Structure 1
Amino acid sequence: MHPVDVTIIVGYLVLVPIIGVLLAGKQRTSKDFFVSDRNMPSWAVCFAIVATETSTLTVISTPTVAYLGSFTFLQIAIGYLLGRIVVAFVLLPRYYEGELVTAYAYLGKRFGPGVQGTASATFLVTRLLADGVRLFATAIPVKVMLSAAGFDVAFWQIILVITIITVLYTYLGGTRAVVWVDAFQMVLYVVGGLVAVYLLAGRLPGDWFETALDEGKFQLFDFSGSVLTEPYAFITAVVGGAMLSMASHGADQLIVQRLLATRTLRASRTALIGSGVLVFFQFGLFLLIGTMLWSFYNGVAPKDMGMATNDDLFPTFIVTEMPPGIAGLLIAGILAAAMSSSLNSLATSTVTDIYQRLSTRVLDDAAVLRQAKVWVLIWGVALFAFASMFTDTENPVIELGLSVTGYTYGALLGAFFLGLLVKRARQSDGVIAFVVTVAVMGVVILGVTFPDGEGGQASLAFPWYTPVGVVVTLLVGGLLSLRHRRPVAPPEPVVEQEPA
């Protein structure tokens, strides 16, 4: 690797925590640490949301999707935008009217602490599995690129560096630091993608676009695929994508906490819907890179070119084809997609939804702030330990971590809809429905197959996991609620109690 590239990458790793801490300032209250005292500009939150939902796998895998297929992946981004619109006008007002700091506090107001604790614990386990695996998965392409450049590093060393940096700026700067760093990182990896497009365009034949168009590489809609088994069939992608986005952006504390950092409900809506538009164009950018790589490599299968996996395509191109300086910028961009922190959300939910509920004494605000910072450290160690357990992608826990949201998102989103739509539902109904849904989704994901239209069998397409989970939660909770004669009084829109 050229010294210029090394300088850019090291400079980026040093600069990130400094930027976060300087922009965040001193965290004096728990509200400041949890939701940035609700004073973040909507554009920064918008960028941060996009960075949070974009992993390194997104940056390196999306080009491969287009290289091997077409632009049909964009259909799911249409669903993502529709789902965000629903969240903006249905769920966000409930969070803002009570000035809550976690999404699950609303469930506590509607049902009681049992449902709040169940949802929060599910979020914590889901995030540990998903983000631990995401952290390990991030190390895979980074190791590939460093190895190609002559650096022999272990997975755990890459994971340790990323963990230390994210813990540092999250501990010192809270949500404000997380949002600013996320926003900066989104700009970095998008600029890296644009640079890749510019450089590729200069190395492709003049008729590459027409050739790709004739080969169907720019096909956007797929109306012929099996609705049940093809993830990018039109109905599956749009409906499933919308429900998945409603769960990830309306019922997952990771995103909700960033939305609650804006000044007003209107600003939060702007950030959320704007992020859906940006994600659509971001996916389009990396799909375009994949199509251009298809032209550059004449459509040869990545493994036929000596690559270990299909997802090595974009990283290998960066290391072998990019000039000094540009390669460093693109590698820094890939690292940027890996470093969005979930630590603050994990700490906030732990302290607010569980620790304070179980504590035998009322904590003053200084104690809450101290506990939040302690839990940032604890969760940082936990994520590092979990991610460092793996040495390859064959471990079955890897598959669980990558698919865990399929088991839980339907139950999480379903609990919110149960509270909104089924007025008779009580706390016991919500808890039972939640647990039953997670169990049912385990059966659906692991044991149910459908005809694939080609004489074989295939599993249910992943975009349907969340809709099925929501339906199960509403059915079970709705039936259980029939035991009760009267509806539950709506929760009072009171401000969450401040620590004494």
Structure 2
Amino acid sequence: MTLAIADWIVLAGYLCIVLGIGIYFSRRNTSTEEYFVGGRRFRGWVIGLSLVGTSISSITFLAYPADAFKTDWLRYLPNLALLPAILVAAFVFLPFFRRGNMTSAYEFLEMRYGPSVRVYGAVAFLVAQVVRLAMILWLLSLLIQQVTGLSPTTAIVLGGLFVGLYTVIGGIDAVIWTDVLQTVVLLLGGILCLWVILEALPGGLGQIVDQAGAAGKFALAPWENGAPGETSWSLSLSEKTATMMLLIGLTNWLTEYSSNQNTVQRYCASQSTQEARRGLWVYLFTALPIWAFYMFLGTALWVFFETFPDVQASAILNGEARAETLMPHFITGYLPAGVAGLVIAAALAAAMSSLDSSINSVTTVSVVDLYRRHLRPDKDDRHYLKAAWTIAVAVTALMIAGALWLNGTDTKTLQDTSTILVSLLGGGMLGLYLLGFFSQRGDARAAWCGIACTLVFTGWTVLTNKGMLPEALSAPFDLYYTGLIGNVLMFVVGYLAASLWSAGVASARSS
């Protein structure tokens, strides 16, 4: 790929601004309260845009347009469950985390169940995030290689060091404000892509709506043989119906807003409960249109390449090339100088906004839930601030090492490994929190009963997925629903165990 001088200027300017934000906020980081939650002074609109930047990753920039280009809008369907999830988060989850100056999502688990369950929640989060960091950095390095021609190793190391630098020195202040910037850049990059398409198409916007509509490209249905299939609204564990897709989305979003440190940390960094709640509304009414916009961009690209046939685009539609190569191909082949630089900056922003948030949240959980709580209690705040810097550097190193390992191995291996680890350790986390939010029954014993049963259940589905079980012992449902069933299992088993122990105690007292 050859970039014009204007593109390099735009890219360099963007990276300098991001680094400058980190350096600027480094002067404020004189306490853990500042480093982890920014002094708890953020306004709602800042929190909302930061949440958008955190949740919008390379998936939004690459996968959404690619999916809409190749099929229809089915991938968008689970996002519609965000509205009810935000309502529950705003009025049920949020008040719990705003009590008592919490910093971590897993402090609640200790308050509700005890220290052992808090450790489990923290470790499960750390493992999942470290794996996620390595994968995102590796994906980011692919773009860096394409833009600069650097070797894979150099691209991974430079990308990891850059993100790590402004995150380590700037703390949560730098993370939140760079996420806001990256959200704006991401949206602007997409708008410029659409503008180029509209300028090129003879019929403009109307042509996109008419041509794509006639081909069924806006349908919310499985894509079969070059056309949308029938949309089913039935409840079924054996097929992907629209209703089940919405339930999957609801489960994912409720998990995100009840137990994900990236989100809970922003609750805690807000000025007040009202501002935190306002941040959720800003997120809702910003993220849903942005996701829809990127789906529409993919549909527009389908119309564009139907009008102006292209070998690579045809190969993607025929399954001969990966769909995720669509956006890089369009950027490099069809965008004018300067515009291409900004859109590449948007692609970088999509990955960097996920990396910096995860590095900071992993650091926070490591210090608050493990190091300060169990390993080195009763030290002064300066000690914990130095520990945070050290851990953030270590997390950055782990991220780079993981990406380097991924680059030298079969990508499917890491994808499988990460899926298994996240499923095993993170499975049922929503059920665990819901039991704590909506019931006063149960202690650590009940929680561990639920965790153990969920781990066994998830392990069973993993073995089924790997084809390691005979047909008679394999899971009789679509494995897409593993998380949904696992959360229900966690809640039910935990509640029943709590009820049995309560009944046993009451019986013992009466006798």
1:46-104 per-residue CA deviation (whole Å, 9 max, x = no partner) reads 11111111111321110011011112322211112321221221111111112100010
1:275 alignment partner, one of 279, 283, 302:
283
2:15 alignment partner, one of 13, 17, 21:
13
- The one-letter amino acid paired with 1:388 is L
Aligned: 1:328 with 2:341 = yes
What is the deviation of 1:411? 2.1
1:277-321 per-residue CA deviation (whole Å, 9 max, x = no partner) reads 222111111111101111111285444799741110111100011
Deviates more, 1:197-206 or 1:311-320: 197-206
8 A Cα contact 1:50 1:278, kept in partner: yes
- The one-letter amino acid paired with 1:412 is M
Aligned: 1:345 with 2:361 = yes
Distance across 2 between alignment mates of 1:273 and 1:447: 40
Residues 305 and 74 (structure 1 numbering): CA distance in 2 closer, same or farther, change over 3 Å? closer
1:113 alignment partner, one of 112, 115, 139:
115
Aligned residue in 1 for 2:489: 472
What is the deviation of 1:223? 3.1
Aligned residue in 2 for 1:168: 165
- How many residue pairs end up in the alignment? 474
Distance across 2 between alignment mates of 1:166 and 1:33: 16
Distance across 2 between alignment mates of 1:383 and 1:402: 17
Q: SS of the counterpart of 1:260?
A: helix
What is the deviation of 1:40? 1.0
1:357-385 per-residue CA deviation (whole Å, 9 max, x = no partner) reads 22354111111111111111111111111
What is the deviation of 1:406? 4.0
Residues 403 and 41 (structure 1 numbering): CA distance in 2 closer, same or farther, change over 3 Å? farther
Q: SS of the counterpart of 2:428?
A: helix
Distance across 1 between alignment mates of 2:42 and 2:171: 12
Aligned residue in 2 for 1:250: 258
Aligned residue in 1 for 2:133: 131
1:448-489 per-residue CA deviation (whole Å, 9 max, x = no partner) reads 69xxxxxxx997263x3332121111122123213422799x
Aligned residue in 2 for 1:377: 393
Q: Structure 2, unaligned stretches of length 5 or more?
A: 222-229, 467-474, 506-511
Percent identity between the two aligned chains:
26
8 A Cα contact 2:140 2:159, kept in partner: no
Q: How does 1:12-411 map to 2 (within 5 A)?
A: 12-23=14-25, 25-143=27-145, 145-146=146-147, 151-206=148-203, 207-220=207-220, 223-224=231-232, 227-228=236-237, 231=240, 233-298=241-306, 301-303=314-316, 308-340=321-353, 341=356, 342-359=358-375, 361-391=377-407, 394-401=411-418, 404-411=421-428
Distance across 2 between alignment mates of 1:296 and 1:399: 35
Q: Structure 1, unaligned stretches of length 5 or more?
A: 450-456, 489-500
- The one-letter amino acid paired with 1:52 is T
Residues 134 and 435 (structure 1 numbering): CA distance in 2 closer, same or farther, change over 3 Å? farther
- The one-letter amino acid paired with 2:237 is L
Distance across 2 between alignment mates of 1:447 and 1:461: 9
Distance across 2 between alignment mates of 1:309 and 1:344: 32
What is the deviation of 1:402? 5.3
TM-score normalised by length of structure 1: 0.88
Aligned residue in 2 for 1:494: none
What is the deviation of 1:225? 7.3
Q: SS of the counterpart of 2:271?
A: coil
1:441 alignment partner, one of 447, 458, 461:
458
Residues 70 and 304 (structure 1 numbering): CA distance in 2 closer, same or farther, change over 3 Å? closer
Distance across 2 between alignment mates of 1:89 and 1:181: 28
- The one-letter amino acid paired with 1:242 is L
- The one-letter amino acid paired with 2:496 is L
Distance across 2 between alignment mates of 1:66 and 1:458: 30
Distance across 1 between alignment mates of 2:443 and 2:297: 50
1:22-67 per-residue CA deviation (whole Å, 9 max, x = no partner) reads 2564212111111111001111111111111111132111001101
Distance across 2 between alignment mates of 1:402 and 1:53: 18
TM-score normalised by length of structure 2: 0.87
Distance across 2 between alignment mates of 1:355 and 1:259: 22
- When the two chains are superposed, the root-mean-square deviation of aligned CA atoms in Å is 2.5
1:317-362 per-residue CA deviation (whole Å, 9 max, x = no partner) reads 0001111100111001000011121111111101111112223541
Distance across 1 between alignment mates of 2:478 and 2:284: 25
Deviates more, 1:407-416 or 1:174-183: 407-416
